[in-house]
Amino acid sequence: MILELESLTHRYGDELAVDDVSFGLEEGELVALLGPSGCGKTTIVQAIAGHVRPTAGRIRLRDRDVTEEPPEARRVGVVFQESTLYPHMTVGENVAYGLASGDIGAREREKLVTEYLELVALRDQRDAYPAELSGGQQRRVELARALAPQPDVLLLDEPLSALDRTLRERLREEIARIQDETGVTTLFVTHDQEEAMALADRLVVMDEGRLSGNATPRVLYESPPTPFVASFLGRSNALPATVVAREPPTVAVGDRELELQSSVRSPPTGASVTCHVRPADLSISPPEAAGASGTRLSIPGEVVTVADVGRRYDVTVRTETGDELVVELTDDPPTAGERVAVELPRDRIAVFDADENERQRLVAANETRG
Partner 1 sequence: MSLARRFPTRGSSRLPELLVPALLGGLVLVYFAIPFVAFLARTGAVDVVGELSTPEARVAIRNSLLTAPVSTAISTVLGVPLAYVLARRSFVGKRLVEALVILPLIVPPVVGGAMLLTAVGRFTPIGAAAAAVGIPLTDSLLGVILAQTFVAAPFVIITARAGFGAVDERLEQASRSLGYGPLSTFWNVSLPLARGAIVAGIVLTFARAIGEFGATMMVAYNPRTMPTRIWVEFIAGGIDAIVPLALALLGITLAVLAAVQRFGRVPTVIDR
Binding site for partner 1 (CB under 8 A): 49-51, 70-72, 74, 76-78, 80, 82, 84, 86-88, 97-98, 101-102, 145-146, 149
In the complex, least distance from residue 103 CB atom to partner 1, rounded to whole angstroms = 10
| Nearer of residues 38 and 102 to partner 1, judged by Cβ | 102
Strand order in the sheet with 3-12: 15-25, 3-12, 56-61, 64-65
In the complex, least distance from residue 167 CB atom to partner 1, rounded to whole angstroms = 21
Name the residue among 252, 339, 254, 256 with its Cα closest to residue 301: 339
| Nearer of residues 14 and 356 to partner 1, judged by Cβ | 14
| Nearer of residues 146 and 200 to partner 1, judged by Cβ | 146
Query: How deeply is 166 buried, as exposed, middle or buried, from its count of CB atoms within 10 A (0-12, 13-18, 19+)?
Result: exposed
| Nearer of residues 120 and 146 to partner 1, judged by Cβ | 146
In the complex, least distance from residue 30 CB atom to partner 1, rounded to whole angstroms = 19
| Nearer of residues 46 and 125 to partner 1, judged by Cβ | 46
The residues, any chain, with a CB within 8 Å of residue 313's CB and separated by 6 or more, are 306, 307, 328, 329, 330, 331, 333
| Nearer of residues 97 and 313 to partner 1, judged by Cβ | 97
Helix H, strand E, coil C: the string for 97-116 is HHHHCCCCCHHHHHHHHHHH
Q: Are 217 and 190 in contact (CB under 8 A)?
A: no
In the complex, least distance from residue 82 CB atom to partner 1, rounded to whole angstroms = 7
> CA quadruple 34, 37, 40, 41: dihedral positive or negative?
positive
Q: Report the SS3 class of residue 52.
A: coil
In the complex, least distance from residue 86 CB atom to partner 1, rounded to whole angstroms = 6
In the complex, least distance from residue 44 CB atom to partner 1, rounded to whole angstroms = 15
